[in-house]
């Protein structure tokens, strides 16, 4: 049996944009034992990779280690553990972090016993984010596929490579949450107002204003919030302003149930976040509010969505906290324009539903 190690760091969004790679590797090596090596999550705002990959069958086990650990004993133990597995191949799906980091990653994977290593970025065009069109940078999912082209080919337009393998039980639980006695046959907006980075935060005042601006025209529609337990209180403040059915699921459901909830929603509205990518993977339209910390296009969601991104002079800064510009990039995005995008999608969905009934 072939033994393959996949090295991918990050949390929910990173997992989802790598999903086509996971599917492609499994399809290429259906009988291999595939182990994912990833970072241990230390924040209660983030989902583990296994939380999403569980049930899909693209990996057989997950090993987690503390990112940035300088504990020599722990890293030696991890290396020995990997060597005992007698790895035939290691596939590097981590983000490019410079030439020195690439050499370090390659050396580690070889030291871990991998007979073949695929995907480590060494060429200049692979070490840094690339502009691939006029004002658009290479999409993370495309970057990952390009890195493993010597191993597999992937069609990102094929819905199979985005399949989360949601179970009947998961979809039934989502239906139960959204169709309780007090919410019969409701249409739903699903939103997420949380974020790990302050620079990505559209702010509570904007979220409250958005809810208030929509409530009179769409009170027959339900508004549900998803996210981590840390997002619960903030979500409650927003939901208190909604006149229709409201449901706060933050911290109450697993990521895969969140995916099933999103699949039944009319649309998703939220920050550049894991829930945004989760909505896009299940083909729910996104109204996505981006800071300009990353390059335009790099972390956009799958599919056709309404993206709000202001290319300010400091775009691509990579900062977690904006000190010098007062979050100008994201705070220039206005409540009326986000409201307009939501109205358009809801009206289009409503018209489609009427036609279907006819």
pLDDT at 229 over 80: yes
| Farthest CA pair distance, the chain | 68
pLDDT above 80 for 234: yes
Residue 170 pLDDT exceeds 70? yes
- Dump pLDDT digits (tens) for 23-49: 999 999 999 999 999 988 766 666 788
Instruction: Give the pLDDT confidence of 244-272 residue by residue, as tens digits.
Output: 999 999 999 999 999 999 999 999 999 99
Residue 18 has pLDDT above 90, yes or no: yes
pLDDT band at 306 (very low <50, low <70, confident <90, very high): very high
Phi-psi region of 327 (alpha: psi -120 to 50; beta: other; left: phi over 0): left
d(CA 93, CA 121): 9
Contacts of 64 (CB under 8 A, 6+ apart): 38, 39, 40, 41, 48
Q: What gap in Å lies between CA 192 and CA 200, rounded to an integer?
A: 12
Residue 339 predicted with pLDDT over 90: yes
Q: What does the pLDDT read at residue 244?
A: 92
pLDDT at 357 > cutoff 50: no
**pLDDT tens-place string over residues 96-124:** 888 999 999 999 999 999 999 999 998 88
Q: Do residues 4 and 29 touch, judged by C-beta distance below 8 A? A: yes
| 20: nearest Cα among 58, 46, 52 | 58
Q: Roughly how many angstroms between the first and final C-alpha of the chain, as a whole number?
A: 55
**What domains are there in the chain, each with its CATH number?**
3-162 (3.40.50.2000), 168-357 (3.40.50.2000)
pTM of the model: 0.93
**pLDDT of the residue at 70:** 67
Instruction: State both tokens at 156.
Output: 């990102």
Render pLDDT for 120-155 as a digit per residue (tens, 0 to 9).
Answer: 998 887 888 889 988 999 999 999 999 999 899 999
Percent of the chain with pLDDT over 90: 77
Reading the block at residue 71, the tokens are 């504990």
> In the predicted model, what is the mean pLDDT of the chain?
91
Q: Which of 285, 250, 248, 241 is nearest to 266 (CA)?
A: 285
How many Cα atoms occupy the beta-carbon half-sphere of 62 within 13 Å? 18
């Amino acid at each position: 049996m072939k033994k393959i190690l996949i090295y991918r760091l990050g949390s929910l969004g990173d997992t989802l944009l790598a999903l086509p790679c996971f599917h492609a590797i499994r399809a290429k090596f259906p009988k291999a034992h595939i182990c994912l090596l990833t970072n241990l999550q230390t924040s209660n705002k983030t989902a583990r990779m296994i939380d999403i990959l569980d049930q899909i069958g693209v990996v057989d086990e997950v090993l987690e280690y503390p990112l940035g650990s300088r504990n020599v004993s722990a890293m030696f133990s991890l290396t020995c553990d990997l060597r005992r597995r007698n790895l035939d191949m290691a596939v590097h799906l981590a983000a490019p972090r410079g030439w020195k980091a690439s050499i370090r990653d390659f050396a580690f994977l070889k030291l871990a016993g991998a007979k073949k290593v695929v995907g480590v970025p060494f060429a200049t065009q692979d070490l840094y984010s690339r502009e691939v069109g006029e004002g658009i940078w290479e999409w993370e999912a495309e970057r990952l596929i390009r890195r493993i082209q010597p191993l597999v080919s992937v069609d990102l337009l094929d819905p199979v490579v985005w399949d989360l393998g949601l179970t009947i039980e998961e979809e039934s639980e989502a239906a139960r949450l959204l169709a309780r006695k007090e919410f019969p046959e409701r249409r739903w907006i699903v939103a997420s107002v949380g974020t790990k980075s302050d620079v990505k935060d559209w702010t509570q005042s904007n979220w409250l204003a958005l809810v208030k601006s929509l409530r009179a025209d769409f009170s027959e529609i339900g508004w549900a919030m998803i996210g981590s337990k840390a997002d619960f209180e903030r979500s409650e403040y927003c939901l208190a302003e909604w006149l229709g059915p409201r449901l706060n699921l933050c911290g109450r459901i697993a990521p895969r149930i969140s995916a099933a909830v999103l699949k039944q929603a009319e649309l998703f509205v939220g920050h550049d976040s894991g829930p945004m990518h989760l909505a896009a993977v299940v083909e729910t339209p996104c109204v996505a509010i981006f800071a300009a910390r990353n390059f335009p296009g790099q972390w956009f969601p799958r599919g056709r969505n309404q993206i709000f991104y202001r290319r300010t002079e400091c775009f691509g800064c990579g900062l977690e906290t904006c000190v010098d510009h007062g979050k100008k990039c994201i705070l220039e995005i206005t409540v009326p324009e986000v409201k307009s995008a939501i109205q358009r999608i809801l009206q289009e969905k409503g018209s489609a539903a009427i036609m279907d009934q006819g």
